[in-house]
């Protein structure tokens, strides 16, 4: 559930970026690169992220 899982928020942000720039997505490789760019170039700091320990 997105209300509990901080990883869902990360996926949602990446998917939102792809939806915004869908006109660049002429192939799966472009979609994949855009997705990876959105994940690698962002610092995620959600309040619920701190509910989980380092080893969770």
The sign one gets for the Cα dihedral 18, 21, 27, 30 is: negative
pLDDT band at 5 (very low <50, low <70, confident <90, very high): confident
> Is the pLDDT assigned to residue 55 strictly greater than 60?
no
DSSP secondary structure string for all residues of 23-54: GG-SSHHHHHHHHHHHHHT-----GGGGGS-T
- Determine the pLDDT at residue 2: 56
Q: How many domains does the chain have?
A: 1
Q: Is residue 3 part of a domain?
A: yes
Q: Is residue 2 part of a domain?
A: yes
Q: Is the pTM of this model over 0.75?
A: no
Q: Is residue 32 part of a domain?
A: no
Encode pLDDT of 36-53 as tens digits: 888 887 766 666 666 666
Q: Is residue 12 part of a domain?
A: yes
- Determine the pLDDT at residue 29: 92
């Amino acid at each position: 559930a997105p209300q509990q899982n901080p990883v869902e928020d990360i996926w949602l942000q990446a998917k939102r970026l792809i939806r915004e720039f869908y006109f660049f997505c002429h192939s799966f490789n472009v979609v994949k690169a855009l997705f990876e760019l959105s994940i690698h170039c962002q610092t995620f700091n959600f309040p619920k992220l701190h509910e989980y320990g380092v080893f969770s």
